[in-house]
Amino acid sequence: MAVGGHVDNRRDDAPVSITLGESLWRGRGRRRHLGRHRLPGPGRGGHPYPSRRRLVASDGGVFSFGDARYEGSLPALGVKVNNIRAVIPSVDFRGYALFGYDGGVFSLGDEPSHANLAYNGIEAHDIVGIVFTQYASGFDIAGADGGVFTIGNARFEGSLPSFGIHVSNIVGIAATADTKGYWLAGSDGGIFSFGDARYFGRVPPGPSPVVGIASTSDGNGFWAVEQNGGVFAFGDAGYFGSLPQYRVSVNNIVSMMPTRDDKGYWLVGADGEIFTFGDAPFFGSLGNLHLDRPIVAAVPTS
């Protein structure tokens, strides 16, 4: 089985195109395809499941890769913040909503406007992650204390404070396929399951904190990623490699995204560097650019 690599017909130093605001930057991106294994079947010379990405910085700057459409950013609108923490795409991927630590919501493109959490009677100062419900009719929003807030048709399946569990290190939330359950991940590797989310265990103690969690498309497993690029697969999630495995030393990974077929994933660094594993294609990175604010979130666009 091919482990840890995406190989296509593009040279490592081939020009890449990245949409930065309303301008197009063209340069020589630092490509990180790890391993030298060619994927079997239709993965050769192309990708059977096209996918594009957007990276989001803490000030609401949005960077689009591949043929993902740029639908605006907060700096372009003159909005000055430095607390963006999460992003979700619109149903047709032609828009997105940015969420701040304080529950503020900014909608761009064709994403409908959402009332912020304060408008919904929720006082929040530590939002760490958001997931869709089915048909994008609601959201489950997680706080660093393990509190879960539901908007729209999202079902409340419990939270850590409701069970008398007091923490302050939750870093992300991932939902099951039917959105009737979810997992919360702590920076110490602790995993908490609610609703119909099965408990598969926790990330073993290690030298690097957990920074994110992402579920498989069928909701029967998930990945947890550490700040150093370590990846841990649970349930039916496949393991396709990690940065420590290839002796790549970083300490700034902030997000991971699985591919649509769950046979690969991208790791994203705070500096905009992107690492591909399995059948995840490479569309470029921000590794050669100086960013005013760090990347804090990433979202696929198809």
Can you give the CATH number for the domain in which 74 is found? 2.120.10.30
Quote the distance between the C-alpha of residue 76 and its chain's center: 23
DSSP class per residue in 237-277:
PPP---TGGGT---S-EEEEEE-TTSSEEEEEETTS-EEEE
What is the residue-level pLDDT of the chain in tens, covering all 302 positions? 222 222 222 333 333 333 333 222 322 233 333 432 222 222 222 233 335 678 999 999 998 887 778 888 999 999 999 999 988 887 777 788 888 888 888 888 877 666 566 556 666 678 899 887 765 577 889 999 999 988 878 889 999 999 999 999 999 999 999 889 999 999 999 999 999 999 999 999 999 999 999 999 999 999 999 999 999 999 999 999 999 999 999 999 999 999 989 999 999 999 999 999 999 988 888 878 888 899 999 887 66
Question: 147 in a domain, yes or no?
Answer: yes
Tokens of 190: 């602790």
Question: What is the enclosing helix (H) or strand (E) of 139?
Answer: strand 138-143
Measured in degrees and rounded to the nearest 5, phi and psi for residue 135 equal: 65, 15
Question: 40 in a domain, yes or no?
Answer: yes
Compute the distance between CA of residue 56 and CA of residue 34 in angstroms, rounded to an integer: 24
Say how many domains are in the chain: 1
Question: 2 in a domain, yes or no?
Answer: no
Question: 248 in a domain, yes or no?
Answer: yes
Question: 267 in a domain, yes or no?
Answer: yes
- Report the pLDDT value the prediction gives residue 50, as an integer from 0 to 100: 38
Compute the distance between CA of residue 173 and CA of residue 194 in angstroms, rounded to an integer: 11
Question: 10 in a domain, yes or no?
Answer: no
The whole domain housing 195 covers: 15-300
Please say whether the beta carbons of 97 and 114 come within 8 A. yes
Question: Which residue has 């020589």 as its token pair?
Answer: 28
- Report the pLDDT value the prediction gives residue 111, as an integer from 0 to 100: 72
Measured in degrees and rounded to the nearest 5, phi and psi for residue 244 equal: -60, -35
Question: 56 in a domain, yes or no?
Answer: yes
Among residues 234, 253, 233, 235, which one has the least CA distance to residue 243?
253
Question: 66 in a domain, yes or no?
Answer: yes
Backbone φ/ψ region at 197: left (φ over 0), alpha (ψ -120 to 50), beta? beta
